[in-house]
Amino acid sequence: MQRKAVLLLASLSLALSSAPPGVRAQDQAKPIGANDPRLIFSFAIQPGGKPFRFKVKLKNSGTIAGVSVYRDGQIQAFQYLHSCIEFPDQVDENWGWGDLSQLLDHADLNFDGYQDLELDQVYIPHLGKKVYCVFLWDANTERFVYSQELSGIATNLEAHPENKTLTTREDWMGGAWEESTYRWDGGKLELIEQTSLLGDWGLTPPAGECNFTFTCSCLINGKMVDVLKRPVCTNKEMETLPDCSSSSTSKPQAPSGRTSNRQ
């Protein structure tokens, strides 16, 4: 979790530094009105169900505060979901928010047949980066429940129902990146594969070493194990990285099937 905190702080730093040189972010921001129709979203949480209505709330400063949830035909929200990070982005018209459609997303993130909610907190267009607060739908209580587990990894989070896995992607300036694959095992989220290209062209490596290292890891006997590690010394090598999934040694073990409370 300490490493994830570092990654998030890096994302926030990039977001705060996105203004042109010499221009303060508060000077260039164009406030979004509280009743702007682009802050309203609608979708059904299960096939054939009536759509819910969602209204993203912004603070006076324009930062993302949370989202109100309404059932079909109701004018009073039955639930309000707060932002989950201390410094969410300030939403404005200038640097990539566009039609604001990326403020709220949804997918079945735990593969239980219900749509779950992803409230964007940090958006960095030039890195294609989105950091979410995640809320899972609980069919028993008929409420969305904050998932600290998913929110802790939710950078460019994507669900893959064909094999019931979740993937995240983290990109940094200079070409470094990291991709992670997770699955649910007895209600617990489990990291099963990770591929990364880490380094910096701006640093001078020790003699005989390269600026970047490409690493493939996977879950073996309950532990993440590096199954491939390769130095990357040139831009051409960055473009011809091996496919980790093609190696039979990098196949993660099957879920243990342990039981746990639903997240």
d(CA 184, CA 64) in angstroms, rounded, equals 29
d(CA 168, CA 179) in angstroms, rounded, equals 6
Res. 53: pLDDT tops 50: yes
Query: Which two structure tokens, joined as six digits, stand for 165?
Result: 């896995």
Query: Of 84, 81, 85, whose CA–CA distance to 66 is shortest?
Result: 81
Half-sphere CA count of 6, side-chain side, radius 13 A: 4
Question: What DSSP character marks residue 263?
Answer: -
Q: For position 94, what pLDDT does the model report?
A: 61
Mean pLDDT for the stretch of residues 214-241 = 92
* Whole-model pTM over 0.85: no
- Exposed / middle / buried, residue 224 (Cβ in 10 Å: 0-12, 13-18, 19+): middle
Mean per-residue pLDDT over the chain, rounded: 83
pLDDT tens-place string over residues 166-194: 999 999 988 899 999 999 998 899 999 99
- Amino acid 97 reads W
pLDDT tens-place string over residues 125-178: 888 889 999 999 999 999 999 999 999 999 999 999 999 999 999 999 888 999
d(CA 103, CA 12) in angstroms, rounded, equals 16
Q: For position 202, what pLDDT does the model report?
A: 82
Higher pLDDT among residues 69 and 254, named by residue = 69
pLDDT confidence bin for 255, thresholds 50/70/90: low
Mean pLDDT for the stretch of residues 68-74 = 95
